């Protein structure tokens, strides 16, 4: 066992002495040492219940014959950080989380690791660490929040964000918005729809790194406690069998995750995170894989925010195992941490509601829910959640409205300075430019709340999983390094074609060359973690990993 490096032989007497200070017994010294990375805190609603789940994981580890050692990572709530300076710190936290888990795992020579986490950057950060350390690992995701209710309607976080736009448009009062904000988020768990947190939980299960059914179980459901215990037991068996993270996170497994992503119509952020996980696992996943899979795998679950269904509805319809079943002819039969293959899991379940999880011959859309767009405005790619775009906007030409920050764009939107048909360009919000590549749920929701139907938004930043509508993010190269998005001027014609997967700046090449010759990088002063991050972060098409 790896942990023998810290506990076996007379030369390790000092190490054992410190372990005995924790109460470790002679018999426990002979058992596998299992780390439990817990992102519990009291600022993120998706994490406030994880301390209780951690108790069940520890009990499961002990019952399975291991010794649990719990430690913590940080966690940021993207919703609380949204729309202000704090959002620049969210994506960099993913790297901090991956680093912190690696540091503790490698320093203490754990034999296996259980990652207990929820929410946007924490789940991918822990998966990156698992792949990096390449020891036996299981992820337990904390589960979605239940829906809120007011006025006989189901509510989620995007209803509140879009309410801001409705107030600005004069169709909702501030008092009504306060009523909405008090009712929308009823308790612990990740935000209710297929936003980034829940999409990443589904991707984790789809790639085989969580026990079957884990992703969709609501945070408050007793089944979540049970699966936490089972995961603790199972990690010990994985250690005994030497099944390591990279044995599960293979190219085929990651393509299965993309297949489920396409079928669900998940967050655009999964492209960023799956690319980063692939990088850590040494898997050659590319943006082309997303389009190739999306052309074959149909969109079969109409989940929030593009559709009506929250995560608890997916759970009651059979969860990810039921999605496996519906897609079984399109999936690859990979091994999972449960010891079962994808086909085994699909064969063990029944689709409980085919109105929620449709068959591949009766899809919502014939193609997958995400598309990678290339073209003169995004030579290295960009991402859109096509499942949440009205067909009327799949092809669009319009004049550019150019803003050098999210705040400038938000002021114009709330100030009713945007016209139908225009294409909003928000730049210098990319990985290095922001820095930190902030999410932009505030402007996209404000547009929806104000009732715009023919306004597109393009950015080198990114979007919350709660975004819907013709919103294109992750434009690469970003403005900060002189990508074409830096050269766009007010009134330039931009063309979007989701059918052809094209994003074009319709300006003569000679004009763009002159603009490029006159372009200069911005002068700015950065300090602290953002200063380091801006210097070493890769572009979005590389997953915004660190060099």
User: Which residues are designated catalytic?
Assistant: 464
DSSP of 366-435: SS-S-EEEEETTEEEEEEE-GGGS-GGGSEEEEEEEEESSHHHHHHHHHTT---TT-EEEE-S-STTTTT
- CA gap 459, 427 in Å, rounded: 6
**Residue 522 token pair:** 């911005």
407 contacts: CB under 8 Å, gap ≥ 6: none
Bridge pairing between strands 153-155 and 148-150? antiparallel
- CB count, 10 Å around CB of 355? 10
Q: Which of 461, 489, 468 is nearest to 306 (CA)?
A: 468
Q: Is 184 exposed, middle or buried (0-12, 13-18, 19+ CB in 10 A)?
A: buried
Are the CB atoms for 183 and 149 separated by under 8 Å?
yes
- CA gap 239, 241 in Å, rounded: 5
**Residue 477 token pair:** 């190269």
Q: Which of 70, 76, 49, 144 is nearest to 114 (CA)?
A: 70
Count CA within 13 A, CB hemisphere, residue 326. 30
Are the CB atoms for 144 and 157 separated by under 8 Å?
no
DSSP of 12-52: GHHHHHHHHTTT--TTGGGSPEEEEEE---SS-TTTTTHHH
DSSP of 227-270: HHHHHHHHHHHHHHHT--HHHHS-HHHHHHHHHHHHHHT--THH
417 contacts: CB under 8 Å, gap ≥ 6: none
């Amino acid at each position: 066992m790896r942990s023998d490096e810290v506990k076996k032989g007379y030369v390790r007497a000092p190490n054992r002495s410190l372990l005995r200070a924790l109460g470790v017994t002679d018999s426990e010294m002979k058992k596998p040492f299992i780390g439990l990375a817990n992102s519990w805190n009291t600022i993120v609603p998706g994490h406030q219940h994880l301390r209780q789940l951690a108790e069940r994981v520890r009990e499961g580890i002990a019952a399975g014959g291991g010794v649990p050692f719990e430690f913590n990572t940080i966690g940021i709530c993207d919703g609380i950080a949204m729309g202000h300076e704090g959002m620049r710190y969210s994506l960099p936290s993913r790297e901090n989380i991956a680093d912190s888990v690696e540091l503790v795992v490698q320093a203490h020579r754990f034999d296996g690791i259980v990652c207990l986490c929820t929410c946007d950057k924490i789940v991918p950060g822990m998966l990156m660490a698992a792949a990096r350390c390449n020891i036996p690992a299981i992820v337990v995701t904390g589960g979605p929040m239940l829906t809120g209710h007011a006025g006989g309607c189901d509510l989620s976080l995007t209803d509140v964000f879009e309410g801001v736009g409705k107030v600005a448009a004069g169709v909702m009062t501030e008092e009504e918005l306060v009523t909405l904000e008090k009712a929308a988020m009823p308790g612990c768990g990740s935000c209710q729809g297929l936003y980034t947190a829940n999409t990443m939980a589904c991707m984790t299960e789809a790639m085989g790194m969580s026990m079957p059914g884990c992703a969709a179980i609501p945070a408050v459901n007793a089944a979540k406690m049970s699966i936490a215990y089972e995961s603790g037991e199972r990690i010990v068996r994985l250690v005994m069998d030497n099944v390591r993270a990279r044995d599960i996170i293979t190219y085929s497994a990651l393509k299965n995750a993309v297949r489920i992503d396409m079928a669900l119509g998940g967050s655009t952020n999964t492209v960023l995170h799956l690319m980063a996980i692939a990088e850590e696992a040494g898997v050659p996943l590319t943006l082309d894989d997303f389009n190739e899979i999306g052309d074959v795998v149909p969109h079969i679950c109409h989940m929030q925010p593009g559709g009506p269904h929250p995560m608890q509805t997916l759970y009651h319809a059979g969860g990810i195992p039921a999605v496996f079943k519906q897609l079984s002819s399109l999936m690859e039969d990979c091994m999972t941490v449960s010891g079962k293959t994808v086909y085994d899991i699909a064969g063990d379940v029944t689709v409980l509601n085919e109105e929620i999880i449709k068959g591949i011959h009766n899809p919502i859309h014939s193609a997958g829910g995400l598309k990678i767009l290339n073209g003169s405005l995004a030579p290295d790619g960009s991402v859109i959640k096509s499942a949440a775009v009205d067909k009327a906007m799949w092809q669009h030409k319009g004049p550019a409205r150019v803003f050098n920050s999210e705040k400038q764009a938000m002021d114009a939107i709330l100030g009713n300075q945007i016209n139908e048909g225009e294409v909003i360009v928000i730049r210098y919000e990319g990985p290095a430019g922001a820095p930190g590549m902030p999410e932009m749920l505030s402007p996209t929701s404000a547009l929806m709340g104000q009732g715009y139907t023919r306004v597109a938004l393009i950015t080198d930043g990114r979007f919350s999983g709660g975004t819907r509508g013709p919103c294109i993010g992750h434009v690469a190269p970003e403005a900060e390094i002189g990508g074409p998005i830096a050269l766009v001027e007010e009134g330039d014609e931009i063309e979007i074609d989701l059918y052809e997967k094209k994003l074009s700046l319709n300006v003569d090449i000679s004009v763009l060359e002159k603009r490029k010759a006159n372009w200069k990088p911005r002068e700015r002063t950065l300090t602290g973690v953002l200063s380091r991050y801006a210097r070493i972060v890769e572009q979005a098409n590389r997953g915004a990993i660190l060099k």
